Structure 1
Amino acid sequence: MRLALERGHAVTASTRQPGAFPLQHARLRVAGGDATDPGVARDALEDCDAVISVIGSAYTRRPVTVYSRAASAVVGAMRESGCRRLLAVTSSGVTPLAQRDDLSVPGRAFHRLARRTFGRTVYDDMERMEAVVSDSPVDWTIVRPPGLTDEPGTGYAIAEDVVEGPYCSRDDLAAVLLDQLDDDRYRRRVAAVSTPGLHVGALTTFRREMLKR
Structure 2
Amino acid sequence: MNVNLKGISEHMLQLGLGALAHANRHSGYSNMLNDSWSDLAVLQAAHSAEILIKARIAEEHPLLIFEQLPKAKQLTSDRVSIEDLFKNGKTIQWSDLPERLYLSTGIELPNVDVFKEFGKLRNGIQHFASVSDKPTSWETYNFVFKVIDPFIYDCWGLYAVDYDEDFDSQEHFPASLLRNEILFNVSPSIVSSSDYWDVDWQTLNEGYVEEMKQRIEDAKQLILE
TM-score of the two chains, using structure 2 as the length reference: 0.23
* Larger fraction in helix: 2
* Larger fraction in strand: 1
TM-score of the two chains, using structure 1 as the length reference: 0.24
Larger radius of gyration: 2
